[in-house]
Amino acid sequence: MSSTTEPIIQSPPSTRTLLLLGPPGCGKGTQAERLARNFSIPAISTGEMIRAEIRASSELGKIAAGVTITGGLLSDELVNKIIKSRLSQPDCAAGFMLDGYPRTVDQARYLGELMAGMGFSQPSVVHIDVPAEQLIARTCNRRFCPQCGSIFNLQSHPPKEAGLCDNCHIELQQRSDDCEETVKNRLAAYERSTAPLIDFYQSRDYLRVDGTRSPDVVFQSILDSLH
């Protein structure tokens, strides 16, 4: 009597795995989009993963929905399970980029073990670094179009016509939390949670990038430094 076992799916030998670190307002979103397109890998954020599980009404999604509805924080165990589920999807076979995970050293250790078990090489860590005073200025000068979602910055990327969206020609708005006090609080929280993570990764494949330069220069610097 013969028996069958489920095959172990290993990632292909040539893959690109990236972790993107950086404080709020450093330009991670812009670089994530460019890097994902350049390497033909999915850019995955923690929020997107959780929303996808909830939309799919998976067991993990149902648990996550129950927690988020009550305003609670998802446990490391639950987030780790969602990560494992997402990285098992076919579009991650040739690599992926994570933005917003891991957030703690414990999560980083789990991710390292998970990737090793799945046959992935350990990730290259890209840390986009921008001084706090510049981040505050960037964020407080940020404006968005309520119709098309375009983002402008009164300092570095102003609209062609003051106060109006270049595409929709309607009045730009400012997010209620894009004020100095809120930004300072967000940066303080980021420093508390991420400083130990940066220390953890610095002895590995770690790249610090000066995020004060233009998006094109930052992108090219990342490409030149990756190997």
Residues forming the active site: 28, 103, 142, 175, 186
Distances in Å between the Cα of 69 and the Cα atoms of 6, 59, 79, 179 are 37, 16, 16, 26
Asked if residue 209 lies in contact with residue 21, where contact means CB atoms within 8 angstroms, the answer is no
* Spatial strand order in the sheet of 43-45: 43-45, 95-99, 16-21, 124-129, 206-210
CB atoms within 10 A of CB 84: 15
Residue 107: C-alpha distances to residues 28, 100, 102, 167, 209 (Å): 20, 11, 5, 41, 23
Written as one letter, the residue type at 119 is G
Task: Look up residue 11 and give its amino acid.
Answer: S
- For residue 106, give Cα distances in angstroms to 49, 166, 192: 19, 44, 15
